[in-house]
Chain A
Amino acid sequence: MFWLTSIVAIVATLLAISRLNATHALLYLIVSFLSVAVLFLQLGAPFVAAIEVIVYAGAIMVLFVFVIMLLNLGPHAVEGERQLLPPHAWIGPGLLAAVLLLELLMPLSNNQFIPTTGTAKHADHSTIPTIPTEAAPQLQERMVVGPKEVGIKLFSTYLLAVELAGFLLLAGLVGAFHIGREEPRTSAKPGAMEVPSQEGPA
């Protein structure tokens, strides 16, 4: 089940980054996000699974779709996109990413993790998870960390962080408003900002 979901996520992502049509890519990306949401469920995190679907696959992707519609990137853009993407363009980045992946997989495959004990769940945030003296049973039933626990944590320990996240969104909001604001070009006041023309390449 886990592997099935993972493979779906990976294949969908691969398709998403390789599609020439932006809308198709977005659809694949949504598939990928949905399968990640399923992974979240399997990992015992139903709350973020829902958030993943609603916010990522929902809201953020809709934003992309809007912009693509605004830009009018229809089928005619596919041909242009094809020209921007010759097959050999994949080689370098592919190799680079492959090396990176290898470097990530290597420590992952031969790493000894601290096995968790059931008590860690109830541990206070500030206490150090204790290393059990004898190897605890690896295959114990995984507990679901549900919305309630997340919520409690969010609004007690991380209250300050939530406020800060508010500021983060505020910055995004103000910024998007300022940059995206439609302004009639003609109304630019005389002496409006104009960075000196750059020296062209010699």
Chain B
Amino acid sequence: MNPIPMEQSLMVAAMLFSLGLIGLLVRRNVIFMLISIEIMLNAAGLAFVVAGSHWQAADGQVMFLFIITMAAAEVAIGLALVLRLQSDLPTLDVDAMDQLKGGDDA
């Protein structure tokens, strides 16, 4: 198997991360925001695996496993909250969720 230079794989990870960030900032639907966070976490995991592969060590993969664990836990709670929100508000538009803010801001 041809080795893949680390720089390039990390660049791919960085691109995926940026795409996730764009998604997070652009989308107003909570579900899409959660998806975007998954993309970012996945990109970070990819970066770890890349680095682990570069160092020929299992640590990167181990870290990836923990990242996936955390992503699962977070998604579970996030989706539970989405269900709650859906029953409270008619929309999943996050910009509509502004009950919490300064009392008198302009």
Mark A residues whose CB is within 8 Å of B. 1-2, 6, 9-10, 13-14, 16-18, 22, 25-26, 29, 32-33, 36, 39-40, 42-45, 47-48, 51-52, 55-56, 59-60, 63-64, 66-68, 70-71, 73, 80-81, 84-85, 89-90, 92-94, 96-98, 100-101, 104-105, 108-109, 111, 113, 116, 118, 120-121, 123, 125, 129, 139-145, 149-150, 152-154, 158, 161, 165, 168-169, 171-173, 175-176, 179-180, 198-199, 201-202
Contact = CB atoms under 8 A, between A and B. Distances in A.
A4 to B, nearest CB: 12
Interface string B45-57: 1100110111111
B1 A93 contact: no
B64 A29 contact: no
Contact of B75 (A1, A63, A94, A142): A63
B15 A10 contact: yes
Contacts of B25: 92-93, 96-97
Taking chain A's interface residues, is the majority helix, strand, or loop, or is none over half, making it mixed? helix
A101 B35 contact: no
29 contacts: A2-B4, A17-B39, A18-B23, A25-B32, A39-B9, A42-B1, A52-B68, A60-B72, A64-B79, A71-B82, A84-B29, A89-B26, A90-B22, A92-B25, A93-B25, A96-B21, A97-B18, A101-B14, A113-B6, A113-B54, A116-B56, A142-B56, A144-B1, A152-B58, A172-B76, A175-B80, A176-B76, A179-B80, A180-B80
Nearest to B16: A13
Interface residues on B, range: 35 or more
Nearest to B39: A13
B72 A45 contact: no
- Minimum-distance CB pairs A-B, first 3: A172-B73, A17-B23, A93-B25
